[in-house]
Amino acid sequence: MDEPGASPRSRSRELLLLAGTCLLALLLVNAFVARPFAVPSGSMENGLRPGDRLIANQLAYSFGGHPQRGDVVVFDGTGSFRRGSAEPTGFGGALRALGRDLGLAPAGDSVYVKRVIGVGGDRVTSTGSGERITVNGVPIDESSYLAPGDEPSNVAFDVRVPAGKLWVMGDHRSASRDSRDHLGEPGGGFVPEGKVIGRAEWVVYPVGHWAGLDRSAAFAAAGGTGGHGDQR
């Protein structure tokens, strides 16, 4: 409640201070805890659609945690999926970055959303003929999340994921540029764990598409630990 006799100018300063405090708290949460992202493409349909706003849990892999098979992760692809970022500079670039941090603008060109298929130490293979992808020799049933009509992979590959890196793929395989597309490039399509921004946890917009993004159980039978604990 305002003090008796408080001037309009004093009340305005108090309101500005309150608004600034709220904005600072929101930016701190976005920077270190839970960050909103706008999904830029259809590579993760039907679970994530273009324009969906999701929340990435930035604490999911803190304190010794690691991405696990089946997780949907948001990551910076600079150095793995992209040679460099073409982000604009100056006031316009800063305004766009603020909009992304608040979930009001699409993710930058270097930010991707994909599903973790293999972690460090895993052998991930595909015959490229529509058969299931295998992880450590175990065929993975991905029918719960693959886009209708998509094959697990129409590209053949046989990779061993290096320690500390990830093999990631989109759920809409026929419309996803993922680890498969970077096999012949420096880095081999693998994403360093250190480039993971967070685990995608919830779709919060639009209202009709609200959903939690649970880790898929499809990988429960895959052997190996990926060098950092039980993956089941």
DSSP labels for 123-156? Answer: EEEE-SSSPPPEETTEEP--TTTSPTT--S-SS-
Please indicate whether residue 114 is annotated as part of the active site.
yes
The single residue of 41, 43, 126, 179 carrying the catalytic annotation is 43
H-type helices in the chain, by residue range? Answer: 8-32, 90-101
Count Cα neighbours of 105 within 13 Å in the Cβ-side half-sphere.
13
Q: Which of 68, 74, 137 is nearest to 100 (CA)?
A: 74
- 165 in active site: no
**C-alpha span between 194 and 190 (Å, rounded):** 12
In whole angstroms, what is the distance from residue 219 CA to residue 79 CA?
28
Catalytic residue from among 41, 80, 114, 179: 114
Q: For residues 178 and 170, is the Cβ–Cβ distance under 8 A?
A: yes
Active site residues: 43, 114
